[in-house]
A and B are shown apart, each in its own frame.
Chain A
Amino acid sequence: MAKANKYSNTVVIRAENVRKTFGALTAVDSISFTVKKGECFGILGPNGAGKTTTIRMLYGFSPITGGRLEILNTDISQGLVQIKFRIGVCQQENNLDPDLTVQQNLEVYARYFDIPLPKARRKAEELLGFLGLNHRKPNRVAELSGGMMRRLVLARALINDPELLILDEPTTGLDPQSRHQVWERLNELRSRGITILLTTHYMDEAAHLCDRLVIMDHGRILVEGEPLKLIRDHVGHNVIEVNEPNPELRDYICSHNFGYEDLGHRLIVYSRANDALFHKLSEEYCREGCVFRMATLEDVFLRLTGRELRE
């Protein structure tokens, strides 16, 4: 089945020229995008790009300054409470309730959605099983590892059977095992038809999970599209990295109109087609320190948002 057919045309999130200012600072500057039902949509960007501000507006934590934001066909400025009944949110911090046990965290959270206790118990049982936390029910939150806390936050966000799941950096700070476990669960949720919107710093995470994504910087959307297509359009298929390039190689690259980035000690050449260029470079200009690899989303990201530190 082709990916594109998987989604109906129902729009779950519609953002039109959404703006957010804090005093003189414009954190989000007129962004527009739509997320369709069943899709996994990513928001990428360096620190301070406006990702978290955007996601906070989506779940009603921050009121929008301007524009229009519709979630599940409801205008957020009119039906926020109704919307919140139908969405699940994983905030960036693990704000689990430290005063409660694992089991109680889910039961108490279910109460916020007016879910009656017997149903909450059933749902908690199911979710703790789904996220591999069944044996941790009576534990206090402080006794959990980082990965388990994150999974509990995810379980909590699913307590109300949300139609839309919003995740702010779902795997930041997790070890590779935990990350892959979270990814696996998210993929499974996606296959059940839940719409997912997430922010992330990890390009592999975005490439792995997202059907479509936007890269933001300085409060604006730079590009939007499917991960593979973005790589093809902005970088190409392959990348050649040359350590300590000599002047002849630089001249050759410059004169032949290849896409490249000169980082001083390193030269990055974006190669559109085959490995012929790599063979030429490695044979004629650099015997060592020359690497040929597939282009990734990270190349797109760095190319579009630059390499200087943000903080």
Chain B
Amino acid sequence: MRGLFSFHVSQRFLRVWQRNFTVYRKTWKINFLPPLLEPLFYLLAFGAGLSALVGKIQYHGAELSYVVFIAPALIAITIMYSAFFENTFSSFVRMYYQKTYDAMMATPLTLEEIVTGEIVWGATKSVFATVIMLVIISLFGLIYYPHGFLIIPLAFVGGLAFGSIGMFFTGIVPTIDIFNLPMFLFITPMFLFSGTFFPLENLPIWAQLIASLLPLTHLVNIIRSLSFGSLDVSLVWSTGYLLIFFMIFFPLAQHAMKKRLIK
């Protein structure tokens, strides 16, 4: 028997990516809408609506308008959601309902390549959404360049991390409804408590510690720093932290999918 975590992936995993890209292009107008409209809605709601109540906020000793503070977090949240959704609900539909993986496994593609292709595709969707959002948010002058360009490759790294976590759940959930559990226990708390809508300094120390373990906290930190035009060593740590998540959950996802599908 082969080892639990031994797998061989050839570059044919790109074929799986291409398949998803072909489908994406068919419906690109609809795919473009959420990342296009979402930042506009948020900026309107929080910028025009909520910031009148919040006023200026303190972040790392500087005083910022609320819109400036949350705009980068919106990008980080989109990176997380894009990849996580793609590799949970969408991947599950392809695997379970459409039997797309079954058809692929009758070709030279291996399951490892299929899973890799799916995760890389999820990360690609994070990148697509990020680029569209960057354009919109930049129009409001909320991103500092050229530092802001680094957000694009980081979207890929973040997408790999959240996509691998999503794919791991796809490997273990019995039915599609069960995705609500990781959504409410993992994704929603991150959405709220990763320094997205308020500075983490406002929380008690113990809560700050827990928040610092969340991968989204690190993604928000990096993107916020880059948006403000600051580069420091913490970016390397935070990127490394996301990569560690990827390196843990990628093999776990492979293992879970193998256990699920190879019978």
Chain A residues engaging chain B, CB cutoff 8 angstroms = 22, 59-63, 81, 84-85, 89, 91, 93, 95-100, 104, 108-109, 111-114, 156-157
Residues 93-106 of B, flagged 1 when their CB comes within 8 A of A and 0 if not, give: 00000111011111
Number of residue pairs across A and B with beta carbons under 8 Å?
Answer: 63
B107 and A84 within 8 A (CB):
yes
Q: Which of B11-19, B151-159, B173-181 makes up part of the contact surface?
A: B11-19
- Residues of chain B contacted by A156 (CB below 8 angstroms): 103
Determine the chain B residues whose CB is within 8 A of the CB of A98 once the complex forms. Answer: 98
A97 engages B103 (CB within 8 Å):
yes
Most A CB within 10 A of own CB, among B12, B105, B262: B105
B22 engages A114 (CB within 8 Å) = no
The one of B23, B99, B108, B262 that contacts A93, using a Cβ cutoff of 8 Å:
B99
Whether B109 is near chain A, meaning CB under 8 Å from some CB there, is yes
Measured CB to CB, the nearest residue on chain A to B99 is A95
Q: Which 7 A-B pairs have the closest CB atoms?
A: A95-B99, A89-B106, A112-B107, A99-B23, A95-B103, A84-B108, A81-B108
A99 to B98 Cα, complex, angstroms: 9
Interface contact A111-B18, CB-CB below 8 Å: yes
Given A108-B19, A113-B107, also A62-B102 (CB < 8 A)? no
Question: Please, which residues of chain B bring their CB within 8 A of the CB of A85?
Answer: 108
Q: How long is the Cα–Cα vector from A89 to B108 in the complex, in angstroms?
A: 11
Residues of B within 8 A of A99 (CB): 23, 26, 98
Partner of A95, one of B15, B18, B22, B98: B98
Q: Which of B106, B108, B109 has the most CB of A within 10 A?
A: B106
Give the nearest-CB partner of A107 in chain B: B22
Which residues on the A side are within 8 Å of B18 (C-beta)?
A: 108, 111
Q: Which of A22, A91, A100, A108 contacts B106 (CB 8 A)?
A: A91
A and B contact pairs by CB, cutoff 8 A, 9 listed: A62-B262, A85-B108, A89-B106, A95-B100, A100-B23, A108-B18, A112-B104, A113-B108, A114-B108
Closest chain A residue to B23, Cβ basis: A99
Give complex CA distance A113, B109 in Å. Answer: 8
Please tell me which one of the listed residues A61, A96, A100, A111 contacts residue B105 in the complex, with CB atoms under 8 A apart.
Answer: A61
Among B98, B108, B262, B263, the residue within 8 A (CB) of A97 is B98
Known A60-B105, A99-B98; 14 more pairs at CB < 8 Å: A61-B262, A62-B262, A81-B108, A91-B99, A93-B99, A96-B103, A100-B26, A104-B22, A108-B18, A109-B103, A109-B107, A111-B15, A112-B109, A157-B106
| Chain A residues near B15 (CB-CB < 8 A) | 111-112, 114
Among A84, A91, A100, contact of B22 (Cβ-Cβ < 8 Å): A100
A93 with B22: CB separation less than 8 A: no
Do B12 and A61 touch across chains, with their CB atoms under 8 A apart? no
- Residue numbers in B under 8 Å from A96 (CB-CB): 103
B109 contact set on A, CB distance < 8 A: 112
Contacts of A97 in B (CB 8 A): 19, 23, 98, 100, 103
**Nearest Cβ in chain B — how far from A34, in angstroms?**
22
- Report the bound CA distance from A60 to B261 in whole Å: 12
Q: Which chain B residues lie closer than 8 Å to A61 at the CB level?
A: 102, 105-106, 262
Quote the shortest CB–CB distance from B135 to chain A (angstroms).
27
Give the distance in Å from the alpha carbon of A104 to the alpha carbon of B26 in the complex: 11
CB-nearest residue of chain B to A160: B107
